[in-house]
Amino acid sequence: MKFRHLGGSRHLIQQEKKNFSIPLLIAALSLTIFALIALSISDNQIHQFDDNLIGWIQGMEAPGMTKWMQVFTWIGSGLPVIIITIISMIVLYLFLGHRRELLFLAAVIAGSTLLNTLLKLAFQRARPTIHRIIEASGYSFPSGHSMAAFSLYGGLAFLIWKHIPTATGRVLMIIVSAAFILTIGMSRIYLGVHYPSDIAGGYFLSGSWLGICIWFYQRYLERMSLLHSKPLT
């Protein structure tokens, strides 16, 4: 029995190590892409990319589209993000009885906010001035809205995934989460307060941070599982 238990533990450890490599790989790849974007924000090529994408997105301007974009940019702002996060944490606690998930989600959101604040001060990139529909203060790179959206909806998708019993439900959840993340980012470009590279940089930076948080979270769960599976002596 003892040898069987040790063999099962080794198998669990090997399986978890394989799983750990995926979030870390995503985190490293996302951080690399963010670094490339950050290094190229003063390059003419990134300006051409920004100008072309701004022209295409703002070319869709219409009264109905403007209202729609204003709604999504509001959803991605500070107070709504806090409210959605609190409601999500209450649901996780009351209906699913999970406390560890609360700490995970709080760490993802808080860490993303801190990273955004520090990096905006470090880069001090001015916001675009061409055709602003709304006003916004502060620096431009990386986008706080895109980072908050990716962290919140990406973190929720990770936590809810295992509680959805069907593949169709999981695919639908991914589509809805991606739609919110992309539309919030697009709204910032449409309304003239961010460059596309600000949005992309925010996505990849949050993707890196989320991958790191998932790795630590899974490692914590694996350690707890091993502790609980140890036989009493």
Is 90 a member of any domain? yes
Is 230 a member of any domain? no
Residues 6+ apart with CB under 8 A from 9: 226, 229
Predicted pLDDT of residue 8: 46
DSSP string, 13-27: HHHHHHHHHHHHHHH
Is 15 a member of any domain? no
pLDDT band at 1 (very low <50, low <70, confident <90, very high): very low
Q: With a cut of 60, say whether residue 142 has pLDDT above it.
A: yes
Q: With a cut of 50, say whether residue 114 has pLDDT above it.
A: yes
Is 105 a member of any domain? yes
What whole-number distance in Å separates Cα of residue 87 and Cα of residue 91?
6
156-163 long-range contacts (CB < 8 A, ≥24 apart) are: 156/88, 156/105, 158/210, 158/214, 159/92, 159/98, 159/101, 159/104, 159/105, 163/96
Is 60 a member of any domain? no
The answer to whether the Cα torsion of 130, 135, 141, 145 is positive or negative is negative
Is 98 a member of any domain? yes
Predicted pLDDT of residue 90: 87
Q: Which residue has the higher pLDDT, 145 or 162?
A: 145
Is 77 a member of any domain? yes
Please report, as a single letter, which amino acid is at residue 97: G
Predicted pLDDT of residue 226: 72
Is 190 a member of any domain? yes
pLDDT band at 101 (very low <50, low <70, confident <90, very high): confident
Average pLDDT along the chain: 85
Tally of domains within the chain: 1
Residue percentage of the chain with pLDDT more than 90 = 47
Domain containing residue 164: 66-132+140-221
Question: Comparing 3-12, 74-83, 202-211, which segment has the lowest mean pLDDT?
Answer: 3-12
